[in-house]
Homo-oligomer: A and B are copies of this chain.
Amino acid sequence: MKVALIGLGSVGRGVAEMLAKKDLGLTITGIADSKSAFMDPAGIDISRILANKKKNGSCGDQHLTAEDVIKKADYDALIEVTPTNALSGEPAIGYIRAALSRKKHVVTSNKGPIALAAKELRAMAKKKGVALRYEATVAGAIPVMHTLEHGLAGNEILALYGVLNGTCNFILTRMAAEGLTYEQALMEAREMGYAEADPTYDVQGIDAAIKLVILANTIWDNGVKLSDVDRTGIDLLTPDALRLADEEGCTIRLIAEANPKKHLLRVSPRILEKNHPLVNDGTLNALTFETDMAKEITLIGRGAGSIETASAIIGDLLYIRDHYVQRA
């Protein structure tokens, strides 16, 4: 199967490295970063491209763009992993539309397009007879979407609750373990590379809320939006609050929860017993689905990381390879 890779940030490099390393029957025929692009229908030598990128800061021909690759390259599936604003969804939405209109399968790690335009993009994919997959948008390496699609097939999903933001989980872990203030723990998170200079998007629960919207729409197709999420961040939590929880054998985690029958769609700090499956240390993500047959199923794993996110993207690509391209 031929793939085009758009975006060579942390995630894109992870995907490129894994495709070069593993013999998965996936050939990159087009590649683009924000400044340049390169196409070769016979297959691109990834290690040369990555070395170029490291040396010159660009991956190919500076007269070519991502659009050129998406519109002209010879590929079966687009890997869309550009740096995209999660609140506007661009440039990813435009890229995904362009690929779908050419009847190309799309795999994306960008939350914006799915949170904002899932209905339109899914309808477009369906009309064109191609796949639009986005396992990497929620909970990193944890195969959330595959579990919903296959592992829990036939189940009614009644509710979900999870830890979907690793930055907040790290901060809360450090506040509880060392009695740090929010500011101290945030500084530590920055030093470890877990928090951005402007942490608003993480600590006010926006990132978790966007992932919750993606999950809710995937499961219940209920057209919820970010503004529908009842959202409280962790930035006002005090060491006292964590100490009081600790005295009761509990701790605090930022929990995203959805339960359509209770009209519940919320991201907020919650008190949980320390041995609760959603209480994990560091940047781990965790997610519980409450279902009618399987009852509660919990998944725990890494919510971020270059190679971890590549795992989710490659899972999607292999699904497309086995269930669409090789069957065609």
Bound: A215/B220 CA distance, A: 33
Chain B residues in 8 Å Cβ range of A24:
154
| A261-318 interface with B by 8 A CB criterion | 274-275, 277, 279-281, 291, 293-302, 305, 307-308, 310-312, 314-315, 317-318
Min CB gap A69→B, angstroms: 23
Q: Is the CB of A143 within 8 A of B151?
A: yes
Min CB gap A10→B, angstroms: 14
Q: Is the CB of A146 within 8 A of B150?
A: yes
Bound: A149/B150 CA distance, A: 10
Min CB gap A63→B, angstroms: 34
Q: Is the CB of A277 within 8 A of B275?
A: no
Q: Is the CB of B298 within 8 A of A301?
A: yes
Q: Is the CB of B297 within 8 A of A142?
A: yes
> With A147-B146, A153-B318, A315-B150 as given contacts, are A302 and B294 in contact (CB-CB < 8 Å)?
yes
Interface membership of chain A positions 15-34, coded 1 if the CB is closer than 8 angstroms to chain B and 0 otherwise: 00010001010000000000
> With A274-B275, A277-B277, A323-B323 as given contacts, are A294 and B141 in contact (CB-CB < 8 Å)?
yes
Chain B residues in 8 Å Cβ range of A143:
147, 150-152, 294, 297
Interface membership of chain A positions 100-123, coded 1 if the CB is closer than 8 angstroms to chain B and 0 otherwise: 000000000000000000000000
Q: Is the CB of B319 within 8 A of A153?
A: yes
| A141-195 interface with B by 8 A CB criterion | 141-143, 146-147, 149-155
Q: Is the CB of B318 within 8 A of A141?
A: no
Bound: A311/B301 CA distance, A: 23
Q: Is the CB of A294 within 8 A of B298?
A: no
Q: Is the CB of A294 within 8 A of B301?
A: yes
Bound: A240/B185 CA distance, A: 39
Q: Is the CB of B293 within 8 A of A314?
A: yes
Check if A327 is an interface residue, CB within 8 A of chain B. Answer: yes
Bound: A319/B239 CA distance, A: 49
Chain B residues in 8 Å Cβ range of A308:
293-295
Bound: A295/B304 CA distance, A: 11
- Checking B295, B296, B314 against A153 with a beta-carbon cut-off of 8 angstroms, the contacting residue is B314
Chain B residues in 8 Å Cβ range of A141:
293-295, 297
Q: List 29 A-B contacts (CB under 8 A).
A: A18-B154, A22-B154, A24-B154, A141-B295, A141-B297, A142-B294, A143-B147, A143-B150, A143-B151, A143-B294, A146-B150, A150-B319, A154-B317, A155-B315, A274-B275, A277-B277, A277-B280, A291-B311, A293-B307, A293-B308, A294-B301, A295-B301, A295-B302, A296-B301, A297-B300, A298-B298, A298-B300, A299-B300, A323-B323
The list of the 10 closest CB pairs from A to B, nearest first, reads A143-B151, A293-B311, A141-B294, A146-B151, A154-B314, A294-B311, A298-B300, A153-B318, A297-B301, A146-B150
